[in-house]
Structure 1
Amino acid sequence: MTTLADPVPGGRPGDVERATALSGELAGRGVHGVVLAYVDTAGIGRVKTVPTARLASAAAWGVGMSPVFDTFLANDSIVTTDVLGSPDGDLRLYPDLDRLVVLAGQPGWAWAPVDRVTQDGERHPGCTRTFLRRIVTEAAGRHGLTFKAAIEIEWTVARGDAPGDAFVPATTGPAYGATRQIELGDYTADLLSACAAQGVDVEQVHPEYAAGQFEVSVGAVDPVAAADRSVLVRQTVRAVAQRHGLRVSFAPAVVGRGVGNGGHVHLSAWRAGANLHAGGEGRYGMTAEAESFTAGILAHLPALTAVTAPSPASHLRLRPSQWAGVFTAWGRETRETALRVVTGTTGLRDRAANLEIKPVDLAANPYLAIGSLIAAGLDGLTSAAALPDETTGDPAHLSEAEAEARGVRRLPDSLERAVEEFRDDDVLRTALGPVLADAVIAVRRGEQECVAGLDDDQVAAAYRWTY
């Protein structure tokens, strides 16, 4: 279970004593250091580490980190807003002890996600993990809702001995082919072992469509834990790969053309232990609230792409007829619509039914992405928004008249246009708050400027090994 209370200077009740006990247990297991992890606005995982013996101090007083990283770009250059991007100031990183795990893929290390707090003990308005915790807490208080979420993780596996930054797939064979599983069977077996040791319940791991591509699907948990898990699993995928002499990329596109790496989000709303996406009188068993929640996400999708597909490389992936979901449409088990209603198999629907959001990739900050999706869904639920007609097949094949009649439109085809949609979306900007919303706009514009004049292959190369 994820800690939902804000950190406080001196530690929350019991934190210091618990961290002291944990540090002794970790030392006894040969753990020398703890990785304190968060994700910045650009979607880059940032860390500080402390010796195991310093865990209690970190739980009590945090660890220092500059707020300037809120406006770092993926290439480590810096943009500014009216309050962020300065070399001044400091924040404190507080580990969530409930989420601390020993890293099976990195012997000698443990890992914990952090919340970022000001030196005055206040929530840092740019902390995306804090933002997601706030959205979840407010949904419970105002609507009596809880959520379950999971993020699919797709990545490409490359040979570690390839020259320079070239991408050379580490395996051959067709999509979903047995050849790939056999050639990298030792690697994926070690990955499954590491995930199990870390308490991550893997539902499946398999070769995917693109060259050298794999996917791992994990069980659904509360939204903050789901975002934490996404960061942890990627750290594990990369660490295990390195031990096998392999190199991995979670970038939305590793080459200029073709299918890219997604990070589809599965999300369901619950009340009093009942899944709102099953057992209702709406379409495919959805309750009226689930339909309105889905309609809210659908309505805000053009703006949401600024947080769910935040890299210039994201738009190399977001192309029609590539199962990336680039149209504002929904359908039951329809993999070309942006929203896929998953009903689950008969006998499991009360537990398995959920909404899959497809125009998401792993350049996205998972806390920011899930929090924004929930905020959009809640806007639809609050206004009792009507869910439009379902779309079947590929929306790209609809005539202009049919698309207009159904309200089906193409999602922004560039990061610049996505930012324009986000800037004009008062609901999302209000949910994020002015500091975080302005950071999103500034960082996205900065990324766009970094690739001005580059062709698709050059854009892919620029981000290939960043994520």
Structure 2
Amino acid sequence: MTTLADPVPGGRPGDVERAKALGGELAGRGVHGIVLSYVDTAGVGRVKTIPTAKLASAAAWGVGMSPVFDTFLANDSIVSTDVLGSPDGDLRLYPDLDQLTVLAGQPGWAWAPVDRITQEGEPHPGCSRTALRHLVAEAAERHGLTFRAGIEVEWSVGQGPTEGGEFVPALTGPAYSATRQVELSDCTADLLAAFAAQGVEVEQIHPEYAAGQFEISVGALDPVAAADRSVLVRQTIRAVSRRHGFVVSFAPAVLAQGVGNGGHIHLSAWRDDVNLHSGGEGRYGMTADAESFTAGVLTHLPALTALTAPSPASHLRLKPSQWAGVFTCWGRETREAALRVVTGTAGLRGQAANLEVKPVDLAANPYLALAGLITAGLDGLASAAPLPEEITGDPARLEPAAAAARGVRRLPASLAESVAEFRKDERLRAALGPVLADAVIAVREGEIAAVDGLDDERVAVAYRWKY
């Protein structure tokens, strides 16, 4: 359960006492340090680490870190807005003790996500975790809605670090093959053991389509906890793989050609513990609210790609007819549609029905991506937006006139186009607030400038080991 209250100087009620007890317990288990984790605007996980003995101090007064990281690029260059990007100022990182986890793949360490506040004790307007937490709380208060979310994680497994940073697949077997499963058997068994020890519910883990690629699906949680879990899952995969001599990449495109790594988001809206995506009178059992929620996401999808596919490398992955979902359409179990309506199997639909958003990768800050998707869905729900006709098959094969008549259009084909759509989307920018929205634009434009003149292969190389 995510801690919902904002941090305050001196600590949230009960946190300091709890942190003291946790610190003693962790020390007794041989945990020497704690990773304090957040994700920056570029989608890079950033950390500060503290000795276990300092956990109570962190719960009371936070740990310092500069706000300049909100405008870091993936290559660690710095851009700026009128508020962010200067060397001035400081923030305090406050761990969410409810999410504190002993890292089975990193003996001697624990991990906790953080919220960031100013030195004056106010929520930092650039903190994406806080923005998502506030949005979820507001949806519950104003609409009586809660959400369940899960983020798929695809990654590429390479042979140990190479001198030139090349990607050499550690697996030789075909996609989804028993050969691949055997080749990575020891490592994936250790991953399953680590996730079980960390309380992470694994639904599936299997070899995937691209060279050296695997995928893991984990159980759904509230959106903030789901984003936290996505960060923790990647931390664990990276650590366990290193112990087996592998290097891993979660970059959208490890190579310029072929299928990339996705980070599909599954999202469902609930009211009074009832799934709105099942048991209704709409298409495939959707309620009217679920149809409108889906319509809202569909309407805002071009602008949302600035949050869900935020890297120049993202657009090496977002290609038609590669199951990346690059057209504004939806369909039941249609893997080429940007929105895949998942009904679940008979007997489980009340729990399993959800909306899968496909044009998402792991360069995305998961808190920003979920905040954008929920905002878009709520916008559709508030206006009772009608959900258009579904598509079947591959929308790339539609004749232009037929596609236009059905409202099916290509999502932005470049990061510059995504930014232009995001600039026009007042609803999304308002939900993030001006500081965070401006940071998104500045960082995306900085990434565009960073790869100016590079061909696709060099773009893939530039981001290969950043995520």
TM-score of the superposed pair, with normalisation by structure 2: 1.00
SS at match of 1:359: coil
Aligned residues: 467
Deviation at 1:161, TM superposition (A): 4.6
Q: State the match for 2:463 in structure 1.
A: 463
1:176 aligns with 2:176: yes
Aligned residue for 1:30, secondary structure, equals coil
Post-superposition offset of 1:163: 3.3
Q: Deviations over 1:196-228 (max 9, x none)?
A: 100000000000000000000000010000000
Q: Is residue 2:282 matched to residue 1:282?
A: yes
User: How far apart, in 1, do the equivalents of 2:164 and 2:240 lie?
Assistant: 21
Residue of structure 1 equivalent to 2:46 = 46
Match of 2:124, SS state, is: coil
Could you say what secondary structure the match of 1:150 adopts?
A: strand
Equivalence for 1:4? 4
Secondary structure of 1:279's match?
A: coil
Residue number in structure 2 paired with 1:236: 236
Once the two structures are superposed, residues 226-261 of structure 1 have per-residue CA deviations (whole angstroms, 9 ceiling, x without a partner) of: 000000000000000000000000000001110000
Q: Counterparts of 2:53 and 2:76 in 1: how far apart (Å)?
A: 31
* 2:24 match: 24
SS at match of 1:418: helix
What is the distance in 1 between the residues matched to 2:241 and 2:457?
A: 25
What is the letter of the counterpart of residue 117 of structure 2? V
Q: Secondary structure at the match of 2:34?
A: strand
Q: Report the counterpart of residue 258 of structure 2 in structure 1.
A: 258
Amino acid at match of 2:217: S
* Counterpart in the other structure of 2:84: 84
| Percentage of pairs with the same residue | 79
SS of the residue aligned with 2:25?
helix
Shift of 1:182: 0.2
Number of the residue aligned with 2:433: 433
Runs of 4+ in 1 over 6 A off after TM superposition: none
Which residue is equivalent to 1:75?
75
Q: Tell me how far apart the structure 2 counterparts of residues 450 and 30 of structure 1 sit (CA, whole Å).
A: 43
What is the aligned partner in structure 2 of residue 417 from structure 1? 417
Unaligned runs of 5+ in 1: none
Aligned match of 1:185:
185
SS at match of 1:35: strand
CA shift, 1:84, in A, is 0.4
Distance 1:158 1:343 in 2: 35
- The separation in 1 between residues aligned to 2:304 and 2:399, in whole angstroms, is 25
| Partner-residue secondary structure (3-state), 1:56 | helix
Deviations 1:141-186 (A, max 9, x none): 1100000000000000000053320000001111001101001100
Summarize the alignment of residues 128-167 of structure 1 with structure 2, pairs less than 5 Å apart. 128-167=128-167
CA distance in 2, matches of 1:273, 1:432: 27
| Matching of residues 441-456 of structure 1 within 5 Å | 441-456=441-456
Question: Residue 390 of structure 2 corresponds to which residue in structure 1?
Answer: 390
Q: Which residue does the alignment assign to 2:316?
A: 316
Q: Name 2:376's counterpart in structure 1.
A: 376
Q: 2:107 maps to what in 1?
A: 107
Letter in structure 2 aligned against 1:405: A
2:196 aligns with 196
Could you tell me which residue of structure 2 aligns to residue 126 of structure 1?
A: 126
Q: Are positions 1:306 and 2:281 aligned together?
A: no
Q: Which residue of 1 aligns with 2:116?
A: 116
> What SS class does the counterpart of residue 111 from structure 2 fall into?
strand
Residue identity in the other structure for 1:174:
P
Map of 1:213 onto structure 2:
213
Give 1:116's aligned amino acid.
Answer: R
Give the Cα–Cα distance (whole angstroms) in 1 for the partners of residues 442 and 12 of structure 2.
34
Q: Distance in 2 between matches of 1:254 and 1:49?
A: 29
The separation in 2 between residues aligned to 1:432 and 1:23, in whole angstroms, is 35
Deviations 1:290-349 (A, max 9, x none): 000000000000000000000000000000000000000000000000000000000000
Letter in 1 for 2:444: R
In the alignment, the residues of structure 2 paired with residue 435 and residue 184 of structure 1 have an alpha-carbon distance, to the nearest angstrom, of 44
| CA deviation map 1:38-65 (0-9, x unaligned) | 0000000000000000000000000000
Question: Helix, strand or coil: the match of 2:231?
Answer: helix
Partner of 1:272: 272
Report the 3-state secondary structure (helix = DSSP H, G, I; strand = E; otherwise coil) of the residue aligned with 2:53: helix
Gap runs ≥5 in structure 2: none
Q: Does 1:246 align with 2:246?
A: yes
Report the equivalent of 1:62. 62
SS at match of 2:174: coil
* Secondary structure of 2:373's aligned partner: helix
Inter-partner Cα distance in structure 2 for 1:203 and 1:359: 21
Query: CA shift at 1:8, angstroms?
Result: 0.5
In the alignment, the residues of structure 1 paired with residue 461 and residue 192 of structure 2 have an alpha-carbon distance, to the nearest angstrom, of 29
Root-mean-square deviation (Å): 0.4
Query: Within 2, Cα distance between the matches of 1:184 and 1:162?
Result: 19
Q: Using the alignment, how far apart are the partners of 1:163 and 1:450 within structure 2?
A: 23
- Aligned-partner Cα distance in 2 for 1:15–1:210: 45
Q: Secondary structure at the match of 1:267?
A: strand
- Name the CA distance, whole Å, in 1 between partners of 2:101 and 2:314: 31
Letter in 1 for 2:349: R
| Counterpart-to-counterpart distance in 2, 1:177 and 1:457 | 28
